[in-house]
Structure 1
Amino acid sequence: PEKVRANDYNPNVMAPVEQRLLHTSLLTEGYTQPVGVAQAGQGYSVVDGYHRMQLGKHKPRLRERLKGYLPVVLVHQESGGDAERRAATVRHNRARGQNAVTAMSDLVRDLARLGWEDGRIAKELGMDAGEVLRLKQISGLAELFGDETFSQAWTVE
C-alpha cells in the first residue's frame, strides 16, 4: 500500500454516510473491485478507487484483513502522462455516474492548460462540446479564453 498514492485531482466526492457504507461493504464482502492504478514514477497513482484505497490503507480492521496488501489492477496507458491519468479517472467516475461539478470543471481547466483542445477533452471525457464549454466557464472565463479573439460586438465605444 505504501507505493500506492492518491491523485491530487479526484473529481468525485463521497458523503460520510456512503463512506461508512463502503467500509462496511469492504469488511463484509471484501474488495469486489480492485483499486485501479497507473505507474507514476517509483510508485502508483490511483486512477479509480480512491475511497477504497483510503479505507484499505487507513482503517486498521481492513488493513489487518488485507495483511498489509491492497488489491490493485494496473491500468493500460498509451502514453502514461498526467493528462491521460486524469482522463481515465474521469471516465471511470462518469461511467458510474459520480462526479462533482467544481472538481470536473477544474479538471477540464487543467487539461486545457496541458494543451488539450476542446475536441479532445470532449472525446476523452465522454462529453459534448457544450458541456466542455460550461465546465470551462465555471472554472474561469478570463483564464481559459484569454487568448481568444472577440468580435467587435464586444467593443464599447
Structure 2
Amino acid sequence: MPISAKIEALNHIRQALHEVSPFEDPIDCVLWVQADQVRGNDYNPNKVAPPEMRLLKRSVREDGYTQPIVAHQERDGYVVIDGFHRRRVGAEYKPVRNRLHGCLPVTLVKSGGIKQRMAATIRHNRARGVHGVVPMIDVVATLVREGWSDADICAELGMSADEVLRFKQHKGLPELFGDADFSLAWE
C-alpha cells in the first residue's frame, strides 16, 4: 500500500474516532497534512531569532513534533494559526520533511473570519510570552480599522488598555482614536 494511502486511511480513522469522542477540543484529532497544503499567515508578529530557529530544528529532529500545528481549513488548504515556525521546520528542513513523508501534524480550529484568526494567533503567542512589538502594532491597527473597540482588543488579545493606547500612539494614525474620549482642557 502506498504511503499516501496509509496517511489517508490514518486520517480517516482519526476523524471517525473524533466524531464519537467525548472530547471536542482540536487536539483530539491531529491529522497528517502535506506540507505544501499548509501556509503561514501574513500577520503573525512572532519572530524567531536564528539561534532559536536552529534550536527548534534540532528539537524537532531529535524529539519529533510534540505539538501539532494549529490551523484553519480553507478551500485551498490550511492557514497557520499557531506553529508558523514549526511549519517551516517540517516544510523546509529536509531531514524532518523526509522523515515525515512531506507531511505536517495539524489540528484544526473552527475560527470565524480574519479578525478571530488574528486574535487566536495573538493569544497563542502571548500565552508563551514572546512576540514582536512592531508587527503587533500593525495587528492592533488592523483590528481597530476592522471595527474592534479598545475593550475588544484588550479582552481578545490579553492586553491592557495602556498597551493598546501606546500601540495606537506609536502607529500615529488619527482614525485609530475614533472611540477615544478627549478632555476639554484646551478650550
- Normalised to the residue count of structure 1, the TM-score between the two structures is 0.89
> Within 5 Å, which residues of 2 pair with 1:117-136?
117-136=149-168
Deviation track 1:95-154 (CA, whole Å, cap 9, x = no partner) reads 000111111111000011111111111100011211111111122243422686755545
Pair 1:74 & 2:113 matched: no
The change in CA–CA distance for 1:92 and 1:149 in structure 2 (over 3 A counts) is closer
> Within 5 Å, which residues of 2 pair with 1:1-157?
1-77=35-111, 80-145=112-177, 153-154=185-186
Counterparts of 1:33 and 1:138, CA distance in 2? 35
Counterparts of 2:179 and 2:151, CA distance in 1? 17
Secondary structure, aligned partner of 1:2: helix
CA positional deviation for 1:67:
0.7
Counterparts of 1:56 and 1:24, CA distance in 2? 12
Contact preservation (8 Å) 1:102, 1:139: no
The change in CA–CA distance for 1:126 and 1:137 in structure 2 (over 3 A counts) is same
Counterparts of 1:33 and 1:91, CA distance in 2? 16
Contact preservation (8 Å) 1:35, 1:73: yes
Q: Which runs of 5 or more residues in structure 2 are unaligned?
A: 1-34
Q: Which runs of 5 or more residues in structure 1 are unaligned?
A: none
**Matched residue pairs, number?**
153
Secondary structure, aligned partner of 1:47: strand
Counterparts of 2:41 and 2:70, CA distance in 1? 12
Name the aligned partner's letter for residue 55 of structure 2: L
Give the alignment's Cα RMSD to 1 decimal: 1.7
- Normalised to the residue count of structure 2, the TM-score between the two structures is 0.76
CA positional deviation for 1:48:
0.3
